[in-house]
């Protein structure tokens, strides 16, 4: 059974860079058919798609965050990562990593439990 686990600091200072890693177990990320995603949810608010990585590092980002977001993968560790630069309090959220089944049309069926990141000095 595929499992995802987010890891990274729970507290980031304003103007600094938020970094999170998603470790995938139970299946390889080195597949041409999988899509990995980062989704965030500010306290009490809805889900916001941050970005997606697909096969050999192809990436797609939310236009509202595109200038600050980088998603990358490390196939040797079966991980993909999120970096969000120049953070403000508005970036405080639970950050989820997620993965599709074979192909984007299958939807994000596998999720981590979420990692709360607070932006505060």
- Gap between the Cα atoms of 82 and 73, Å rounded: 9
Number of residues that bind another protein (CB under 8 A): 22
Which residue's CB is nearer to another protein, number 16 or number 65?
65
Q: How far is the CB of 98 from another protein (least distance, A)?
A: 8
Which residue's CB is nearer to another protein, number 92 or number 112?
112
| Residues in 44-83 that interact with another protein by CB under 8 A | 46-49, 52, 60, 62-63
- Gap between the Cα atoms of 56 and 40, Å rounded: 23
- Contact between 114 and another protein per CB under 8 A: yes
Tell the burial category of 115 from Cβ atoms under 10 Å away from its Cβ (0-12, 13-18, 19+): buried
- Contact between 9 and another protein per CB under 8 A: no
């Amino acid at each position: 059974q595929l499992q995802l686990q987010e890891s990274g600091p729970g507290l980031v200072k304003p103007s600094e860079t938020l970094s999170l890693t998603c470790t995938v177990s139970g299946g390889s990320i080195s597949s041409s058919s999988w899509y990995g995603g980062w989704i965030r949810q500010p306290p009490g608010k809805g889900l916001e798609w941050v970005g997606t990585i697909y096969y050999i590092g192809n990436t797609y980002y939310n236009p509202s965050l595109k200038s600050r977001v980088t998603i990358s993968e490390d196939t040797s560790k079966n991980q993909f990562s999120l970096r969000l630069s120049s953070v403000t309090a508005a970036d405080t959220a639970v950050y989820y990593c997620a993965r599709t089944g074979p192909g984007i049309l299958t939807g994000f069926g596998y999720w981590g439990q979420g990692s709360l990141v607070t932006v505060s000095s």
